Structure 1
């Protein structure tokens, strides 16, 4: 398996071999193009300071219980987006990334001041900081987030659109009808489950269940990336996408399992454009099937009740046998409303029998929200957003948690009063300078970790984002 250090070495070896940026090349019309146009170089830096006030914890103190005491946390990510055109329609992209910090989580009640006993990013299924999805530990770490080749193949004779250079996009003309093949290390959400209003926690909503379909057990390592092959067939009014990618060796692990025949994720999506009230909208239908070493919740519950669970405390972090299957479906829709903004909604479901292995502990999810542009108050570069989410789990999953089991995010020690987890998120993003954005964010989470005994949690965040 290629590890991040190996990728860094390969990147350093390959970069000097690429054509010199000062060299010019001649196009078919004998016009000279500066070879710098063959490159794409962009950068982002995001910090999120988030905290919650004290709430009624009802005395729960499991390993993954969200601390009822006030808590603050800081996450940091910075990414370099480097791209190089290889030949017509093809480009290679490399994204070195540095991430560190943590999300709010659990403090040991016996030693609340001991940071070594702190477990970050637990206790809430729809976790309130989407950037912690890219953080493996509190200590800053440098790694290669993406390293892939993309090939665009025109289909027939169709109109083309000139794409400007941006993050992971070289300046080029893109045909309206095309096939796109992507191979390498990437985030599968770069291609699937896109939504113009709720997809990027660096610029939009922060909650995990708003940035992607909550019940989609997103194939990725701890930081949100995987190795895979994706093929997209794109027409002006519809698109079909399919991808095969790797899953981690253990639940939420950072090491991906290369036993491809026994451990893999298959994702399929159909996208269709429609018109409502004379405005174009988009609907997407996604299906997935993951095969891992994940055990079933029912078998794990039996072991817990018999007192023979192999680890203590009882995490579902390892499995002994391949063949654990999780599958599910999701619907994603967006409706632009012109300068006013737009509306969006998602609904997703998975079979809920096999343990969650990659994304978060949600088996059913529904979200609805609005994105409001600042044109109405003469701040055309500002944005406000409001959304609600309802997340739930299967009966098998709830029984496992009630028996004292823990996943990699949830586990209060017991769950006698299961309730769906509800979230409300409101944010305002202001553009302070050409490349600087500041966001104020508020979230209200009811029944954190599906525990109806625990009171509502108020969370406040300040996000700083720089991009160029």
Structure 2
């Protein structure tokens, strides 16, 4: 009798689960929009000297704006198509020069002061699923709502952002709604493949299981550092990125650990060779040759300590022999911090975030800058080296029904561009973000 009752309960539960799954709507088309405006001000600061790529020691105010339309569609079973036109304009402080951990993450998408429209993402994705365990996916930007198996393999090809798929973090990943600093968007020493606006062309694959995910991408390389022209010699100019993500619970609170490795290949310059060729005014671009590479790794973790409070930490490293090509001039980086929801003061959708950053350079990179060399982002003409140290705090205010947010932000930058002879720098920001 007891066995029959147990069997009846199991069958009833299975039927109820199946019925619930049948009622979940598979979103056929998805349309979303975002706009982010960031205005930053820095007071004047002390500097013993300045170079071509220095942050200006004068007081300064600059603004950036990005607007994105997110379109997605299901084509057939497992097939998805994504199209994102985007417009951006404005500028970063000092033309986005002079700080490796730059304070405005949106300026990575700004190529000129005048607003320009371009295709941010255009890619096709095919999913292959198996197993009976399902996740319910909530509709979002570039996310088609519905049911998805916890066991799947997917492949995507086209134009996308590496940060769309890799190096995610629940508390420190999106400058449109979280911390604004570049070194808090992603692991700082990951010179991740992108054009000047932050997007790349390639193939991405993902193997998903209930508690872990394995990702790999093969992408193209631009012809010049921080440029937008793609190198057609794909056999010589390419990148490989691999990431393992493990999800777990500690005392009922969710946590995630991500391990990332990368190798970039292309026509890169070599710091040591540049200094050897011209010890008083080295130029790394004159040493460019195919066959060069940059490799490195990153560790990235986040952990909820309660439903309203979570912490994160990241650490990354690259070999630092060849010039920075895509992201920013960081060869070693450690970041950590936390985010607290405003539940205790009856502001459930407000957030208070605090984070700390420590950035460093490899020996060859440091010697190159000290000899008077310039990268595409930093270079003061000489260098009194010290790690670049940054603290950031923000308070995100839900101004209207989780659609419109206003965020005051403050960043303290010690040793900008790794130079003890300049700074410290104070940056005050205000961000307005709308999404629907």
TM range, smaller chain: over 0.9
* TM-score normalised to structure 2 length: 0.92
Q: Structure 1 residue 424 and structure 2 residue 399: aligned?
A: no
From 241, 250, 271, the counterpart of 2:245: 271
Residue of structure 2 equivalent to 1:49: 39
Residue of structure 2 equivalent to 1:460: 428
* Whole-angstrom CA distance in 2 between matches of 1:319 and 1:293: 9
* Whole-angstrom CA distance in 1 between matches of 2:152 and 2:308: 31
Shift of 1:461: 0.3
Higher mean displacement: 206-215 or 278-287: 278-287
**SS at the partner of 1:343?**
strand
* Whole-angstrom CA distance in 2 between matches of 1:37 and 1:324: 45
Shift of 1:321: 1.9
From 110, 116, 119, the counterpart of 1:135: 110
Matches within 5 A, 1:139-178: 139-155=114-130, 157-178=131-152
Residue of structure 2 equivalent to 1:68: 57
Shift of 1:63: 0.5
* Whole-angstrom CA distance in 1 between matches of 2:26 and 2:37: 31
Q: Structure 1 residue 293 and structure 2 residue 283: aligned?
A: no
- Alpha-carbon contact 1:40-1:168 (below 8 Å) kept: yes
* Whole-angstrom CA distance in 2 between matches of 1:55 and 1:257: 40
* Whole-angstrom CA distance in 2 between matches of 1:453 and 1:74: 27
Residue of structure 1 equivalent to 2:413: 445
* Whole-angstrom CA distance in 2 between matches of 1:226 and 1:121: 21
Shift of 1:341: 1.9
Residue of structure 2 equivalent to 1:38: 28
Report how many residues are paired: 414
Shift of 1:403: 0.9
- Alpha-carbon contact 1:251-1:318 (below 8 Å) kept: no
* Whole-angstrom CA distance in 2 between matches of 1:391 and 1:36: 44
Shift of 1:158: 2.8
Q: Structure 1 residue 348 and structure 2 residue 337: aligned?
A: no
Q: Structure 1 residue 234 and structure 2 residue 224: aligned?
A: no
From 64, 88, 100, the counterpart of 1:99: 88
Unaligned 5+ runs, structure 1: 1-28, 106-119
From 331, 350, 359, the counterpart of 2:299: 331
- Alpha-carbon contact 2:270-2:288 (below 8 Å) kept: no
Higher mean displacement: 76-85 or 271-280: 271-280
Change (3 A) 1:98 1:317: farther
Shift of 1:172: 2.6
Unaligned 5+ runs, structure 2: 1-18
Shift of 1:269: 0.4
Residue of structure 2 equivalent to 1:205: 179
**SS at the partner of 1:177?**
strand
* Whole-angstrom CA distance in 2 between matches of 1:201 and 1:256: 26
**SS at the partner of 2:374?**
coil
Shift of 1:233: 0.5
- Alpha-carbon contact 1:341-1:372 (below 8 Å) kept: yes
- Alpha-carbon contact 1:250-1:317 (below 8 Å) kept: no
**SS at the partner of 1:333?**
strand
- Alpha-carbon contact 2:274-2:286 (below 8 Å) kept: no
Residue of structure 2 equivalent to 1:376: 344
**SS at the partner of 1:87?**
coil
Q: Structure 1 residue 280 and structure 2 residue 257: aligned?
A: no
Give deviations 1:205-234, integer Å, cap 9, x for gaps. 000000100000010000000001111111
Residue of structure 1 equivalent to 2:14: none
Give deviations 1:21-55, integer Å, cap 9, x for gaps. xxxxxxxx9xxx9x994110000000000011111
Shift of 1:319: 5.8
Give deviations 1:83-118, integer Å, cap 9, x for gaps. 11101121100000000111001xxxxxxxxxxxxx
* Whole-angstrom CA distance in 2 between matches of 1:418 and 1:171: 50
Shift of 1:164: 3.0
- Alpha-carbon contact 1:339-1:375 (below 8 Å) kept: no
**SS at the partner of 1:75?**
strand
Give deviations 1:121-168, integer Å, cap 9, x for gaps. 01000000000011112221100000001111113x131123232211
- Alpha-carbon contact 2:74-2:81 (below 8 Å) kept: yes
* Whole-angstrom CA distance in 2 between matches of 1:209 and 1:302: 31
Greater per-residue strand proportion: 2
Shift of 1:304: 2.7
* Whole-angstrom CA distance in 2 between matches of 1:371 and 1:306: 46
- Alpha-carbon contact 1:136-1:254 (below 8 Å) kept: no
Give deviations 1:376-409, integer Å, cap 9, x for gaps. 1100010110000000001110110011110000
